[in-house]
Amino acid sequence: MSSLEKLIPDLDALLPELEEVYKDLHRHPELSMYEYRTAEIAAEYLVRYGYEVTREIGVTGVVGVLRNGDGPVVMLRADMDALPMAEATGLPYASDVVTRDEDGVEVSVCHSC
């Protein structure tokens, strides 16, 4: 059994669900400091897999800690925010979100990284 399989049992069975979550997050992007929905989805998954979760770090940040004994510590960081620009990918799950930025200007929003 690989280390990844130990960490996430039934990973192959989980992949279709994770693909749907990916598409959902892509369809519903949120600007920096407004990622409330995205943060809650991330937190729910961390809780489901046994992580200690702290929400609202720096407004919308989420921290998950998985304790599994003594030894090395691994830290990962991921951005959840989208950019104020229109998506032109043509993907079936492309963002068509339009919102107002911190200055009140209406902007399109997408995950474009």
- Tokens 């998950």 locate to 64
> Residue 39 corresponds to which amino acid?
A
Q: Across the 113 residues of the chain, what is the mean pLDDT of every consecutive 10-residue run?
A: 73 89 97 96 93 96 91 88 96 96 95 86
Q: What is the CA radius of gyration of the chain?
A: 16
Beta strands 98-100 and 106-108: pairing type? antiparallel
C-alpha span between 32 and 38 (Å, rounded):
11
DSSP bridge partners of 53:
64
The SS3 assignment for 84 reads coil
C-alpha span between 99 and 32 (Å, rounded):
12
pLDDT the model gives residue 9: 75
Nearby residues of 67 by Cβ (< 8 Å), 6 or more positions away: 52
In this prediction the pTM is 0.86
Query: Phi, psi (5° rounding) for residue 38?
Result: -60, -45
